[in-house]
């Protein structure tokens, strides 16, 4: 006997500057939409700190290289899935979250249970402007996580060379820039070229069931033995239910010659 799928239930609908914001519950899953069927964030109501969307779990493969982050900058908040995950599991990690739309921040707090906590600092700003103009104290990040999309696609400001250069400058030594990219977009080849220009080592993790590709960019090739990476991948799987061993097998390393930067 076929199971009856639960019907979608819109629990919030609003419009800000012409853009529709919808929050929809389907069974245990609550999702944020920006005027389309595409999910900007999803959350399990029973387990709100679990990373439901596969691309968010792939973004956390940065923990293979930085197992215990102490600081992270998040560009694009959405429902706050990544922020909640890092806040929950890394008690010594301070988070700076940059979101252009203050109404999105309100929705993340009210409907997606983003904590009000001193370890989570919210900055209402354009991500590129924040990186370029923020005071020098906002630097030395172990992780910079970029997931900046609106109803029309990727935010234009993050497709610029200056944005990638500013990310590199704000990272700590050994830090990682992580971007959620849409490989079917016209911006994808250009963004990959910018990463190749500004960074010395890039891993790409294509989502097999989606159009997302996660890019992990580092200044230098990480000196981590393959066996240790496999061990860390198993730890992520056991500790956080992240299919890191699979992602590790899917990754594609972009080799950059020393003269290529």
Helices (H) and strands (E) in the chain, counts: 8, 14
Burial environment of residue 180 by CB neighbours within 10 A (0 to 12, 13 to 18, 19 or more)? buried
| Domains of the chain (ranges, CATH numbers) | 56-260 (3.40.50.150)
**Tokens standing for 31?**
């999702």
- Predicted TM-score (pTM) of the model is 0.93
Print pLDDT tens along the chain (261 aa): 556 778 899 999 998 777 889 999 999 999 999 888 888 899 999 999 999 999 999 999 999 999 999 999 999 999 999 999 999 999 999 999 999 999 999 999 999 999 999 999 999 999 999 999 999 999 999 999 999 876 667 788 888 999 999 999 999 999 999 999 988 888 888 999 999 999 989 999 999 878 889 999 998 878 889 999 999 999 999 999 999 999 999 999 886 655 444
Q: Which residue, among 205, 193, 189, 207, has the nearest Cα to 164 in the 3D structure?
A: 193
Provide the 8-state DSSP code for 257: -
Cα 98 from chain centre: 12
Total residue count of the chain as it appears in this document: 261
Task: Please pick, among 126, 147, 166, 219, the residue that the annotation labels catalytic.
Answer: 147
Q: Is 117 a catalytic residue?
A: no
């Amino acid at each position: 006997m076929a199971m009856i799928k639960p019907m979608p239930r819109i629990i919030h609908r609003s419009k800000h500057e012409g853009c529709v914001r919808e929050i929809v519950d389907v069974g245990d899953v609550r999702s944020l939409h920006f005027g389309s069927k595409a999910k900007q964030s999803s959350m399990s109501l029973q387990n709100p700190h679990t990373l439901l969307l596969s691309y968010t779990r792939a973004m956390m493969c940065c923990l293979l290289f930085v197992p215990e982050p102490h600081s992270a900058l998040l560009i694009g908040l959405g429902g706050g899935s990544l922020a909640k995950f890092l806040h929950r599991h890394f008690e010594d990690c301070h988070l700076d979250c940059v979101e252009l739309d203050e109404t999105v921040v309100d929705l993340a707090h009210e409907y997606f249970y983003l904590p009000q906590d001193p370890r989570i600092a919210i900055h209402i700003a354009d991500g590129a402007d924040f990186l370029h103009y923020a005071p020098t104290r906002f630097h030395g990040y172990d992780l910079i996580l970029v997931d900046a999309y609106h109803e029309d696609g990727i935010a234009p400001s993050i497709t610029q060379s200056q944005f990638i250069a500013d990310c590199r400058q704000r990272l700590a030594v050994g830090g990682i820039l992580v971007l959620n990219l849409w490989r079917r977009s016209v911006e994808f080849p250009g963004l990959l070229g910018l990463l190749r220009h500004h960074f010395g080592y890039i891993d790409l993790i294509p989502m097999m069931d989606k159009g997302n590709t996660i890019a992990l960019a580092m200044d230098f090739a990480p000196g981590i033995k393959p066996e240790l990476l496999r061990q860390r991948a198993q730890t992520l799987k056991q500790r956080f239910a992240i299919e890191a061993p699979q992602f590790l097998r899917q990754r594609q390393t972009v080799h950059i010659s020393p003269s290529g930067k």
